[in-house]
Amino acid sequence: MTPNASASGDTDLVVVPRHHHPYLEPHATGGFIPFAHRGGTSEWPENTLPAFRHAVQLGYRYLETDVRLTSDGLLAAFHDDDLRRTAGRPGRISEMPWAEVSRILIDGREPIPLLADLLEEFPDAMINIDAKSDDTVEPLVALLRSMSALDRVCVGSFSHRRLRRVRGALGPAVCTSASPIEVLTWLSGRIPSGPSCFQVPVKQGPVTVTTGDRVERARRAGLPVHVWTVDHPQEMQELIDIGVHGIMTDQPAVLRSVCEHNSLWPTT
């Protein structure tokens, strides 16, 4: 099977997006999207400005991050529910004002940025945003509007209710990925009406989510498939071989090498 081939034998990655959104524009001409997941973790702590800068210096245009709301209503680029894993201390961002959160160092090295910092520092980057809690939705909608950032973000969430609220507030102006319920619809052989794309793992527990047949069915429906979080080059290659349209990784240099080997690294 050729590197760009899907399981059905299709030899290109062209997706005519069902939702014509600028975020997905590369797919309309067969482009593959490499994502730096949380900016990448190989050189710098996750979800920190140096991590995102490193990814951009490597040539990444698509960056993935998460948002949590501080107690005074600001959106921090942070994944976990609490600070133990990344900062080695107890506490929740949701219970702290930004003045306190801004003094916390990830891995003892780098501060937690605001989502607004990412949008401002990387005006040419596309940002994939995982809304981690219900209270992030309204501030996120307001921030994206105020910063005129709707053309360069995709909002995802493990909560169907959150995504429904985002879609209800912003309509087709925002790109959204499929919720878990919508992914189950896809796995059952049907195509959900709400999402602009699928962003899924290779497997969920014992269930293989990403297969060539499913990727091809999504492609024909105009929904690209992005897979997370893939760090091993062999697995990256296997996913490229079945025709996925993008990969999220914590190892951006590794994914760049695999993309270049397959002539999939973006040139612009």
Q: What per-residue confidence (pLDDT) applies to 245?
A: 98
Q: Is 236 helix (H, G, I), strand (E, B) or coil?
A: helix
Give me the sign of the Cα torsion angle 8, 13, 14, 16: positive
Token match 């050729």: residue?
Answer: 2
Q: What per-residue confidence (pLDDT) applies to 203?
A: 97
Q: What are phi and psi of 210, to 5 degrees?
A: -95, 105
CA 145 to chain CA centroid, Å, is 19
Using alpha carbons, select from 2, 64, 7 the residue that is nearest to residue 33. 64
Token match 């600028």: residue?
Answer: 22
Q: What is the pLDDT of residues 217-252, one digit of tens each?
A: 999 999 999 999 999 999 999 999 999 999 999 999
| Bridge partners, residue 76, by sequence | 68, 114
Class (C level, CATH) for 22-66+125-261: alpha beta
Q: What per-residue confidence (pLDDT) applies to 1?
A: 33
Give me the sign of the Cα torsion angle 110, 127, 160, 169: positive
Q: What per-residue confidence (pLDDT) applies to 19?
A: 73
Q: What per-residue confidence (pLDDT) applies to 201?
A: 98
Q: What per-residue confidence (pLDDT) applies to 154?
A: 99
Q: What per-residue confidence (pLDDT) applies to 2?
A: 36
Q: What is the pLDDT of residues 18-39, one digit of tens each?
A: 778 999 999 988 999 999 999 9
The parts of the chain modelled with pLDDT lower than 50 are: 1-11
Q: What per-residue confidence (pLDDT) applies to 18?
A: 77
Q: How many CB atoms lie within 10 A of CB 147?
A: 15
Q: What per-residue confidence (pLDDT) applies to 12?
A: 60
**Alpha-carbon Rg for the chain in angstroms:** 18
Average per-residue pLDDT for the chain: 94
Residue-range domain boundaries for the chain: 22-66+125-261
Tell me the catalytic residues.
Answer: 37, 79
Using alpha carbons, select from 117, 119, 140, 118 the residue that is nearest to residue 130. 140
Q: Is 251 helix (H, G, I), strand (E, B) or coil?
A: coil
What whole-number distance in Å separates Cα of residue 28 and Cα of residue 113? 33
Q: What per-residue confidence (pLDDT) applies to 15?
A: 84
